[in-house]
Amino acid sequence: MMNIPIFELERVQSLFENTVDYNLTESGFHPYTLNELLDKEQIDALTHTVLGYGQTNGSIPLRKRISALYNGSSEENVLVTNGSAEANFIACHTLLEKGDEVVMMVPNYMQIWGIAEEMGCVPKAFHLREENNWKPDLAELKSLVTPKTKMITVCNPNNPTGYTLTIDEMEEIVAIAKNVDAWVYCDEVYRGAELNGKTIESFIGMYDKVMVNGGLSKAYALPGLRLGWLIGPENLIADTWAYHDYTSITAGIMSHYIGEIALRPEKRQEILTRNRTMLNENLIAVKEWLNQYGDLFEYVAPKSGGMLFVKYNLDINSSELAEWLRKEKSVFILAGDCYGMDHHFRIGIGERKDYILAGLERVKEALTERFGL
């Protein structure tokens, strides 16, 4: 008997995103090819790489590049993982024990909720409020936190709303955690994908019981590298490495090499600028498409991230709508049900613009055929 719930969001994507003509729900950016990312000399060096294990917690050059993104951090504050998903798994098993309470921002990437349940912890939700432009309900957070709360977990920038916390909101979350000596764990995998071009502050440095994740899959458009990381206090990162020895042992040696290049300041800026430009252009195009339907679609424009979370005013369940579009028009959107929010869906806005618009044209056909719109 399986003790962990099916991770609905990931399972649905894995089943369908590669079997449709148009995947409109990609959560990152159109990925780079090696030829686009690397110069000839670097590619040549790559072909001479010895395919060994390397340093299992991450090569020193890579960890130095990562630590440079966080105030007051060194390579000893970094564990390199196979994607930020492994980082989340390791963080939970390092920080939490059976019976601990975990208070989690919702909507969110729901992996940590499932892990907490599997561990025998008690997950509780505090909400971003759509009616307040997705601002967090910090009064609700305060009311849910108890002496049993071991971790407050947030996603900033947020998946799927694109909301970014203000410094005041971050400070209040830290104050609430301090009050009960809880950890703040922040999924920061979309840090670097801000529409205004200004990278937001990390939670690192705001409190001594903070751990964050990051990775190259989302803001950096390099999901195939499966390269993520954890940042936290040195003694705690040593503990996470011990768990990492029991999970994947190490990320791939090629990913270490390519990831270090991607995070060199000039190359990093080039990558982020490319992706932010796509995001801004695509958001304008998708908003225009949605707006043609008047009040059928409602949305709060994201401040960051690779997606737009849309509310729709049709008498159909979101999973039903997604399945119908997939079967009838070979278009995949992610149902709001995956976040526990019916009558919403997620559109990825980090893809190529012509691809997104062609997929939306199929959706338009479907809305005309079924609803006469």
Q: Which tens digits make up the pLDDT trace of 239-295?
A: 999 999 999 999 999 999 999 999 999 999 999 999 999 999 999 999 999 999 999
Q: What's the whole-number average pLDDT of the chain?
A: 94
CA triple 288-291-293, angle to 5 deg: 130
Q: What are phi and psi of 215, to 5 degrees?
A: 175, 175
CA nearest to 242, candidates 113, 31, 143, 94? 94
- CA of 184: how far to CAs of 153, 172, 176, 177, 202, in Å? 6, 11, 10, 7, 12
| pTM of this structure | 0.94
Give the pLDDT of the chain (373 residues) as one tens digit per residue.
Answer: 556 555 455 545 545 566 789 999 988 999 999 999 999 999 999 999 999 999 999 999 999 999 999 999 999 999 999 999 999 999 999 999 999 999 999 999 999 999 999 999 999 999 999 999 999 999 999 999 999 999 999 999 999 999 999 999 999 999 999 999 999 999 999 999 999 999 999 999 999 999 999 999 999 999 999 999 999 999 999 999 999 999 999 999 999 999 999 999 999 999 999 999 999 999 999 999 999 999 999 999 999 999 999 999 999 999 999 999 999 999 999 999 988 899 999 999 999 999 999 999 999 999 999 998 8
Q: Which CATH class is domain 8-33+268-371?
A: alpha beta
Tell me how far apart the alpha carbons of residues 198 and 34 are, in angstroms, rounded to a whole number.
Answer: 27
Give per-residue pLDDT as tens, 115-142.
999 999 999 999 999 999 999 999 999 9
d(CA 191, CA 340): 24
The full set of domain ranges for the chain reads 8-33+268-371, 50-264
What is d(CA 58, CA 256) in angstroms, rounded to the nearest whole number?
Answer: 7
- In this prediction, residue 19 carries a pLDDT of 79
Which tokens in the block code for residue 206?
Answer: 């705001």
Measure the CA–CA gap between 176 and 181, rounded to whole angstroms.
9
Architecture of domain 50-264: 3-Layer(aba) Sandwich (3.40)
Torsion angle in degrees (nearest 10) through CA of 125, 16, 161, 268:
120
Q: Which residues are within 8 A (CB) of 18 and not within 5 positions of it... i.e. 6 or more apart?
A: none
